[in-house]
Amino acid sequence: MAVVPSSWSTLVRGRHLVHTSIFTLSIGIHVVDSFMIATILPSVVSEIGGAAFYTWAPMLYTVSATVGTACGGFLAVTRGMRRAALAGLLLLALGNAGAAAAGNMAAFLAARVVQGLGGGVLVAQAYGVVSAFYPPMFRPRLLTTISIAHGVAALLGPIAGGAFATIGWWRGIFWIQIPLLMLLAGLVGRSLPSREGTREPYPFPLARLLLLGAAVLSVAVSGRVSAVTLRLLAVGVAVLLVMVTLRLDARAQARLFPSRPLSVTHAVGTALWLTLLFNLTTGHTGVFMPLAVQVLHGISPLFAGYFQSVLAVSWTTFAVVSAGFEGSAVRRVILVGPLLITAGMIGQALLVVHGSLPLLACSVAMTGAGMGLCFAHISSWTLAMARPDETSVTASSIPTLQSLGRAFGAATAGLIANAAGLGAGMSTEAVARAMTFVYGAAVIAPIAIVLLSLRLLRFHRLSPTGPAPRS
C-alpha cells in the first residue's frame, strides 16, 4: 500500500476532518480561557466582590486543569475515549454555567475548579485523538496547530473578554461557550469509539490526583509569598509531592503516567523530560521579561506586552515551517532546535540587563524558533515510542508535564529573583541584579535539553519505528 505524503489538506480530508475538528476545538476552548479570564476579572470582582481572591481564579483553573489532564488518560483507558471526552465536556458546561451564574467569589472559584477539570480532561482526549487516529507522518502538522491556537487565542481571548466586559455582561463570555460545547459533544458522540476501555474495575486514583493537585497548588502559592525561605519550602514540597505521586503511580494497576515517565534510560521518559524542560524554560523567562524591558530598557507597558509575544510568534512561525519535515530532516531539527534554544538563552542572559533591545529581541526570537522547530516532532515521537498499552496515558502526560514545567519555571524564577533582592524594591539596580541571576540560571535547562535531545536521537536511531523499551 502506497504511503500518502502528509500535507495540511490531509488534516481536513475525509474521515480526518471530524477528528481534526475535535482536536482543534478542544485545544482552542481550553487555550482561549487562559487569555480571556484576565480581561474580565476586574468586572467580575467589581460586581460580586472578592478582591482578596483576585489571583485565585486563574490559579485554581491551572491547578485543576493539570489534575484533569493527568486523569484524562486513566479515563480513556478505563472508560473509553468517547465517555472520557463527554465527561470533560459535561464538566466544562457545568463550570461555565456555574461561573456565569455565580453570585459571590466562592461560587465563582468553585466553578473555575470544575471548568479546569473539564478542560484538562478534554485536552487529554485531544492528544489521545492524535495518537489514535493519525499516522505518525500526520502528527507534527496537527500538533503544530496547538502553537497556532495559542497565537490565535492570544489575540481573540482578550478581545472577546474585553468586549463582554465593555457592554457590562461578563457572564455572557461563559454562556456563549455552552452551545459550542454542545456542538463538540455531538462530534465526539458520533466519531469517537463508544467503548474501547478495559472492563477491569480499577479504583479511581483520587489520592494520586489530590497529591498532584497539591503539588501544583504549592508551586502556585510559592509565587504569592515574599519570604525566600517560605518560597523555597513551597517549591521543595511541590517537588516532593510530585515524586510521591509518581512513586505511587508506578505501583498502581491503572496508571496516570506511562512506565518510568521521567527516566532518561527510557525513550518516552527522555522525551517527557524534554517536554517538561521546554515549558520550564518558557515559564522561567517569560514571567519577568515585561518587567525587565520596562525598567531596564525604558519601554512602555504596551510595547512590553508586544515584546513578550516575540517568543510565541517565533515559535509558531517555525513550527509551521518545520511541520512538514520527514525522515532525516526531523532528526536535524531535533538537534538544531535545542542548540538554537541554548544560543538564544545565552543571548538573553548576556543582553537582558545591558544589551541593546533589538539584539535582546533577536535572542528571544531565536529561543522561540528553536522550540518551534522541534517541539511538535518531539511530541510526535513521544506518542510513537509509547508502549501499545500506554498510548492514552502517554498522550495525556504531554500536556500534564507542560503545565508542571510552566509552573515550576515561574516558581524558580520568582525564588531566584527574591533571593537576589527583588522583593526589597523595584529600583533599577534591584531589577538588574535580579535579572542577572534569573536569566543566568535559565541557561541550565537548555543545556540539559541539548543533552537529552542527543539521547532521544540515539533511542530513535536504535529503534527507527519508535517503540519504547518495555520495562
CATH code for the domain of 107: 1.20.1250.20
- Of 146, 175, 196, the one marking the end of a domain is 196
Distance CA 3, CA 150 (A): 31
State the number of CA atoms in the 13 A half-sphere of 434 facing the CB: 28
Residues 364 and 289: beta-carbon distance below 8 Å: yes
25-84 pLDDT tens trace: 999 888 888 778 878 988 999 999 988 888 888 889 999 999 999 999 999 988 899 999
| Residues 186 and 275 grouped into a single domain | no
Distance CA 297, CA 95 (A): 42
369-420 pLDDT tens trace: 999 999 999 999 999 999 988 999 999 999 999 999 999 999 999 999 988 8
Output the pLDDT for position 186.
Answer: 96
Q: pLDDT band for position 199 (50/70/90)?
A: low
Q: Which of 150, 65, 75 is nearest to 112 (CA)?
A: 65
| Residues 185 and 272 grouped into a single domain | no
Question: Residue 202: inside a domain, yes or no?
Answer: no
Output the pLDDT for position 468.
Answer: 41
Residues in the chain: 471
Residues 353 and 296: beta-carbon distance below 8 Å: yes
How many structural domains are present in the chain? 2
Check pLDDT > 90 for residue 152: no
Output the pLDDT for position 348.
Answer: 97
Output the pLDDT for position 469.
Answer: 41
Give the alpha-carbon dihedral of 234, 268, 89, 104, to 10 degrees: 10
Distance CA 353, CA 434 (A): 10
Q: Which of 43-47, 108-112, 269-273, 349-353 has the lowest mean pLDDT?
A: 43-47
Q: Which domain holds residue 17?
A: 12-196
| Residues 154 and 280 grouped into a single domain | no
C-alpha cell belonging to residue 218? 504549592
C-alpha cell belonging to residue 176? 456563549
Question: Residue 316: inside a domain, yes or no?
Answer: yes
Output the pLDDT for position 5.
Answer: 53
Output the pLDDT for position 151.
Answer: 72
What number is the average pLDDT over the span 138-163? 82
| Residues 274 and 350 grouped into a single domain | yes
What separation in angstroms does the CA of 456 have from each of 18, 314, 331, 405, 450?
Answer: 33, 24, 10, 19, 10
| Residues 439 and 355 grouped into a single domain | yes
Question: Cα(first)–Cα(last) distance of the chain, in Å?
Answer: 33
Q: Which of 35, 28, 78 is nearest to 87 (CA)?
A: 78
Q: pLDDT band for position 197 (50/70/90)?
A: low
